[in-house]
Every structure is written in C-alpha cells, then in structure tokens.
Chain A
C-alpha cells in the first residue's frame, strides 16, 4: 500500500577466483537499502569487514529483493542493531509492531534518527526477527496485545479530504471532540 523507503535484498557475492584460491567462499547477506545499487555497495562494505575483498576483486553473484510473505497480518518485530553515537558504538534491541518487516525497519530508522540523532550510515542491523507476543520485552508493544483493545480517539482534527480544499483561515473554531 505504502511505498516503503527501505527494501530488503538478498545479496550473494564472492571474491574472484585466483590461481591461489580456485573456489572462494560464497557469502550471502540480507540487508536493507533504498535501491539495488546501494544494496550492492552495502554488501561490499560488510564483506570488507569479514574478508580481505573489495568490489574490484570480487564478483556479485545474485541480488534479489525479498518481499513480505504476509503483508496483511500484524507482527511484532524485534530488531537488534549496532549504531555509532558521538561517543562510541552501542548495541540496541528495539521492538516494533507492523505488518511488514520493511515497515518496521523504516520505523526503526526514523526512531533512531529522532531519538538518538543517528543517521542511516551509522546504523548496522545485526538481526531482525518476528517475536511471538509472549516473548516481547517492551511494554510499548505489549500494550497492544490485548484481544479486547479499546480506546477513544481523543484529539480529532478533521482535515480537508484533498489538499486543494485546504484554507489558511477558518470562519469558526473546529470541533476537536468527534
């Protein structure tokens, strides 16, 4: 429904075969990027940290986008990440409720940017998982696990249905109750 900023890609690559190493080990990574080009770049960034290989002496074997299997059910996502703050590297575990993993990852990036002023290049996602509701740790997500959830919408600002009907001034004060 919504165009997600972050897409999940499966990237597979290896170093180029050399006379010393005929069959180099093939590495596969799942990572998030806004497009395929950036995904490939991120793959080499991570691979350089694991093995002495660069894009110039490596080859990309496959890059596929991974889509959400069930975008119509709500899941609790746990995201383990490592981020760089002004003083050093820290690990974090965050939980999000969303219908798709891409949506949860987008939530994570925006929350990290707002709460910790950490931008996209300084965040590395270690692991993501769908968490069973009994195993969720954060009260913020656990409060939505009630099957009889019920709350009123308190501050109702009614918007014009299309932006063209927006006016700067209004004749009377809007009713915010309903």
Chain B
C-alpha cells in the first residue's frame, strides 16, 4: 500500500502525547528528521517530535512558516475545523469527550435510552423471526 499521509508544510496533525494532547496543529516547517515546527491558532509556535503527532488527511495551503494571521486565514479557508469534526476520526473523539464528561444523571439517561433501543431491536428481530418461521 503506498503512503497517503505525508509530513509536509500545511499538514494538519493531532498531538497524541504530552502536554498538548488532543490538540489539532498544523505543520509549518520541518526542523529535521524527527521534529517539526508546529503551529495552531491558540498556541505559541513550537517544535514537536513526530512521535507525538498523528497525521490526518487534512492539508491546508500555506507557505513555509506563515504569519499567525495568514495561518488562521488559511485554516478558515480550508475549513479545517468542520472537516475535522465531520470526519469519522474527529467524530469519534468528540463522542469520547462527551462520554467522559457525563455526570451521574446523564449516565442514568443513557442507560434508559440503551434499554429502550435494545427493546426496539428485539421487537423487530422477533417479528422477522416469526416471518421466517411462518414461511
């Protein structure tokens, strides 16, 4: 299988280790084989090891080391936030965060909803089984 996600200027990546865990950053320059200069609208530009990054499919169109305002404008144009939140990876992370932040009452509501959904599935299954048995 050929590689599809490359380290390149403008590649959006997710930080998967360390202080900035969970943050979406843009690779703005490559320091050397192991490190990239990375930037996001709400943080100071810093260098980070590739081991701490997970590359995503999203890429924006920027030149090497753009100014912060240029970066923000390019991110708006490429609509990174929406693309990320509509991707299956992004959606999973949002769900994980939501689940981690439930309080006890919410978990109770989830339990009731799961029971209701299970009941509806079982009713449908019973109907299908009866049709098969009748046929």
Given A72-B37, A159-B17, are A153 and B50 also a contact pair (CB < 8 Å)? yes
Contact A161 B17 (CB under 8 A): yes
A1 contacts chain B at the CB level, 8 A cutoff: yes
The number of residues on chain A lying at the interface, defined by a beta carbon within 8 Å of a beta carbon of chain B, is 23
Q: Whose C-beta in chain A lies nearest to the C-beta of B19?
A: A1
Contact B54 A1 (CB under 8 A): no
The number of residues on chain B lying at the interface, defined by a beta carbon within 8 Å of a beta carbon of chain A, is 26
CB distance from A177 to the nearest CB of B (A): 7
Which residues from chain A contact B105 at a C-beta distance below 8 Å? none
Q: Whose C-beta in chain B lies nearest to the C-beta of A147?
A: B64
A169 contacts chain B at the CB level, 8 A cutoff: no
**A150: contacting residue among B1, B8, B17, B51, CB under 8 A:** B8
Which residues from chain A contact B16 at a C-beta distance below 8 Å? 158-159, 161
Q: Whose C-beta in chain A lies nearest to the C-beta of B37?
A: A74
Give the secondary structure class of A's interface: loop
> Which of A141, A154, A159 has most B Cβ within 10 Å?
A159
A65 contacts chain B at the CB level, 8 A cutoff: no
Contact B64 A161 (CB under 8 A): no
**Residues of A35-64 contacting chain B, CB below 8 A:** none
Contact A1 B65 (CB under 8 A): no
Residue interface bits B42-71, CB-to-A below 8 A is 1, else 0:
001111001100110000000111000000
A99 CA / B84 CA spacing, docked (Å): 29
Given A1-B46, A150-B7, A151-B6, are A144 and B30 also a contact pair (CB < 8 Å)? yes
Contact B30 A149 (CB under 8 A): yes
A121 contacts chain B at the CB level, 8 A cutoff: no
CB distance from B35 to the nearest CB of A (A): 8
Which residues from chain A contact B30 at a C-beta distance below 8 Å? 144, 149
B25 contacts chain A at the CB level, 8 A cutoff: no
Q: List 7 A-B contacts (CB under 8 A).
A: A74-B31, A149-B8, A151-B8, A154-B3, A157-B51, A161-B16, A161-B17
Residues of A within 8 A of B (CB): 1, 72-74, 97-99, 141, 144, 147-154, 157-159, 161, 177-178
